[in-house]
Structure 1
Amino acid sequence: MISPIDSQSQMLEMMTRLQQTASSERIAPASNSVGISEDFSAVIRNINQQQNIAADMMTAVDTGRSDDVIGAMVASQKAGLSFSMLLQVRNKVMSGIDDVMRMSL
């Protein structure tokens, strides 16, 4: 199980890498051949993992195995926010598809 401390250190590491990339003179385009469906699948798996971590932490608090109520609430809020963001992205994509379908040729 991933603890909140591990995920925070991973986020700090990712932010440091992004800052280094942004400070470089030229940002090269992504050269991977992965399609958008694989990207969405990876995002969904990540959000599912966050939901599972939050559920595990809440269960541990409920059963008395853990006293980290704040960590459980933060994990729960993070998972909820990630899911909400996923729904907003899905809504934007569907709206874009609807706009393309309404275009006349």
Structure 2
Amino acid sequence: MRQKVGIALAIAKESKVLLLDEPTSGLDPKSSNEFMALLTKMKNNGVAILMATHDLFRAKEVSTHIGIMRSGVLQNYSNSKDVSLKELETIYLDIMNFKNVS
């Protein structure tokens, strides 16, 4: 609920920048989908959005650029158009030293 209020305030104040930390955490799939549609609309209206998330699907869906950090250090930076979701997942798993389950 706090995140929804924060977004409502950002819209009401016509904010030009949003800083979000795991914005879909705790949302059901329908609400998450609606929230990401709202972010996409805001992005298309010139709002800059910096979002920290572990949700690669949502990051790829809404972003123009994706950075992957580990221990506070940027390990990879990609243009969202230049990387597929599968490639992004592989990059993330490699950086985090997780084994890719195929």
Q: What is the TM-score of this pair, normalised by structure 2?
A: 0.28
Structure label with greater radius of gyration: 1
TM-score under structure 1 normalisation?
Answer: 0.28
Specify which structure has the higher proportion of helix: 1
Structure richer in strand, relative to its length? 2
